[in-house]
């Protein structure tokens, strides 16, 4: 396993070169790095939003620039991790939702740009999956002592989500919403946006708390 920081120029090029040396070619690239900045806009700063975009958006772009020529040579596959939050923005989650709306737009544009060269692009949009993302604070620090606020029954097992991702890549799917609840939310957000707005308002949902401030 190779470690690199997607917010630092040059690190992904170094990692890609090591992969080429070890494996000879790159056929599939998954742009997966990300975390979530949360909070009301009046309690966040421009720097909070910048930090969010540096990982979730520019980190994806750095991944693409470091490997695009490889994918063009192999007529390979680029998978971009979006989110249900890339279809539906909720209170207290504007930085994360903005970043995922941005990568959804990127995936849609690149799908048509890269297809003439044989490169497939898949947008993967998970809902709640078992991971550490909700235990990472606004500074990107993991709070291992905290518990996930999302109930276990609502979280998809990570190995199940991984199998769905692999299947989507194998079949060169355009977009896959990973979880059942995510599919429902995306459908309602797309086809009945007014209803979704009412449901969010009635739910009283105000977003999750930053683990660093608990």
Q: Minimal CA–CA distance to 55: which of 7, 123, 104? A: 7
For 183, counting Cβ atoms within 10 Å of its Cβ (0-12 exposed, 13-18 middle, 19+ buried), the class is middle
- CA neighbours within 13 Å on the CB side: how many for 3? 0
Cα 140 to Cα 147: distance, rounded to the nearest angstrom = 16
**Structure tokens of 125?**
């949009």
* Degrees to nearest 5, angle at CA 31 with 28 and 36: 160
Instruction: List active site positions.
Output: 96
Cα 84 to Cα 186: distance, rounded to the nearest angstrom = 7
Cα distances (angstroms) measured from residue 53 to each of 50, 56, 57, 211: 5, 5, 5, 19
Cα 122 to Cα 120: distance, rounded to the nearest angstrom = 7
Cα 90 to Cα 182: distance, rounded to the nearest angstrom = 14
Residues facing residue 156 across a β-bridge? 129
């Amino acid at each position: 396993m190779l470690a690199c920081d997607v917010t630092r120029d040059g690190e992904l090029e170094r990692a890609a070169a090591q992969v080429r040396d070890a494996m000879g070619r790159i056929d599939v690239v998954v742009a997966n790095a990300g975390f979530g900045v949360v909070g009301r806009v009046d309690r966040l700063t421009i720097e909070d939003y910048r930090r969010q975009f540096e990982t979730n958006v520019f980190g994806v772009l750095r991944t693409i620039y470091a490997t695009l020529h490889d994918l063009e040579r192999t007529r390979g596959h680029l998978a971009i991790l979006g989110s249900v939050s890339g279809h539906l923005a909720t209170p207290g989650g504007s930085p994360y939702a903005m970043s995922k709306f941005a990568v959804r737009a990127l995936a849609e544009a690149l799908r048509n740009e890269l297809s003439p060269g044989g490169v497939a692009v898949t947008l993967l949009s998970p809902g709640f999956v078992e991971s550490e993302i909700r235990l990472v604070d606004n500074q990107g620090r993991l709070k291992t002592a905290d518990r996930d606020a999302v109930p276990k029954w609502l979280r998809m097992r990570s190995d199940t989500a991984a199998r769905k991702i692999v299947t989507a890549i194998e079949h060169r799917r355009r977009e896959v919403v990973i979880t059942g609840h995510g599919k429902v939310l995306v459908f309602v957000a797309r086809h009945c946006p007014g209803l979704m707005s009412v449901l969010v308002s009635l739910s009283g949902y105000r977003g999750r708390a930053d683990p660093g401030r608990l």
